Amino acid sequence: MQAPTMRRRRTAAIGAGLGVAALALSACGTSGGGSAATGPATELGDTDGGSVSILAWPGYVEDGTNDPAVDWVTPFEEATGCSVTSQTYGTSDEAFNLMGDGGFDVVAASGDLTLRLIASETVQELNTDLLESYDAIFDFLKEQEWNSVDGAVYGIPHGYGANLLAYNTDVFPEAPTSWSVVFEDAAANTGGITAYDSPIYIADAAMYLMATEPDLGIENPYSLDEEQLAAAVDLLTVQREHIGEYWSDYLIEVQGLEAGSMVAGTTWQVIINSLSEGTPVAATLPEEGVTGWSDSWMISSATEQTACAYAWLDWIASPEGNAMATEYFGEAPNNIEACDFASEGHCEAYHAGDEEYASQIWYWTTPIAECLDGRTDVECTDYAAWTEAWQQIQG
């Protein structure tokens, strides 16, 4: 997920698979290190005079440098006495490697990264009793398979969003009801189809097959055995013939949608909101559901700045801090109280707190060998296998 100026569940089965996952993930060149903490913090020291080094997506740690009116770092520094330094990254693989190199106290991680960080012992278990803001976070974001393992919490939810279907309203006068327009029916608009450029996009194909090919037995689009992964790869390989351009930088899709060269494909609500007035493009949530993200704030297992790290997590999850950060990026906040600090209409536009809407989102989750859907009679494909498959699809 990448946006420079904006932008269900099964934990018990994951724990035993993380050792396998750590080995498997290193096979794709993304092994990382960390001095594992012996357990979650039990108490915090004074923050005054401390510091916190943060690795995050662009737009997650704004200190007024990019826009003097956009600054939630300075209020944090003034309130806590912690000084903040930050670095942005462009892909989850890059973030994994940077965290493995060390030097960061806190990382904002998407669901295709979180379990890799946990498996490599790069991040530590958290004590949510030390976070005043935690209780107010939406329950449907807490203790999920992408931020927790076997009841142990490793990530604090930031915000969330859906990977919607964008469509050109001149080409589609009525909103498409199915993702078939970018899969089985893509030939009708060959060259005008677009998709998110990442191995995690395989889950979008798996989600579609889950609804349209029930005999495959897919129950979780991030939990695919070899046969199920092969079916998703086949579908995406056919789709590739009709793709005009993949995107990971949101500006690429904005340009394509405005120019009319992209007529259907994956999008974010913030991209739709950013289009020039009059652009004949809208977005919809198809009947098969959507994938999406709920990024997590995590603390390095090697940090020596525990107090300031916890203080940052508490601030960025607070109603005021979270409202500023999620509205700037373009996603729903993690708690309903944040809506009191957000601009009028923001929470409605992003369906904040709408559990029915949220239940249709399959949030990005790192594929691991231990099947996330609970199967024990088969080994599932891990992130390394998905990366290799994505390279195969790309040709």
Q: Write the CATH number for 238.
A: 3.40.190.10
Tokens of 28: 């794709």
What domain range includes position 313?
51-158+294-355
* Count of residues making up the chain: 395
225-262, pLDDT tens digit by residue? 999 999 999 999 999 999 999 998 889 999 999 999 99
Q: Are residues 99 and 203 in the same domain?
A: no
Tokens of 218: 């897919």
SS3 content of the chain, % helix, strand, coil (to 5): 35, 15, 45
Assess if residue 130 is contained within a domain: yes
Q: What does the alpha-carbon distance between residue 273 and residue 62 come to, in Å, rounded to a whole number?
A: 21
Q: Are residues 217 and 285 in the same domain?
A: yes
- Per the listing, tokens 């794709």 go with 28
Q: What is the per-residue pLDDT for 35?
A: 52
Assess if residue 373 is contained within a domain: yes
Model confidence band, residue 156 (pLDDT cutoffs 50, 70, 90): very high
Q: Are residues 197 and 287 in the same domain?
A: yes
Mean pLDDT of 42-54: 96
In the chain, how long is the greatest CA-to-CA distance? 62
Q: Are residues 277 and 186 in the same domain?
A: yes
Report the SS3 class of residue 87. Answer: strand
Q: What does the alpha-carbon distance between residue 273 and residue 166 come to, in Å, rounded to a whole number?
A: 12
Percent of the chain scored above 70 by pLDDT? 90
Q: What is the per-residue pLDDT for 226?
A: 98
Query: In whole numbers, what is the pLDDT of the chain averaged over residues?
Result: 90
Residue 320 has pLDDT above 70, yes or no: yes
Report the SS3 class of residue 363. Answer: strand
Mean pLDDT of 90-97: 91
Assess if residue 36 is contained within a domain: no
Residue 364 has what DSSP assignment?
A: -
Q: Are residues 60 and 141 in the same domain?
A: yes
Q: Are residues 192 and 181 in the same domain?
A: yes
Q: Are residues 243 and 385 in the same domain?
A: yes
Q: Are residues 102 and 222 in the same domain?
A: no
Residue 32 has pLDDT above 80, yes or no: no
Q: Are residues 273 and 314 in the same domain?
A: no
Q: What is the per-residue pLDDT for 37?
A: 60
Q: Are residues 277 and 385 in the same domain?
A: yes
Q: Are residues 244 and 231 in the same domain?
A: yes
Q: Are residues 205 and 232 in the same domain?
A: yes
Q: How many CB atoms lie within 10 A of CB 275?
A: 17
Number of compact structural domains in the chain: 2
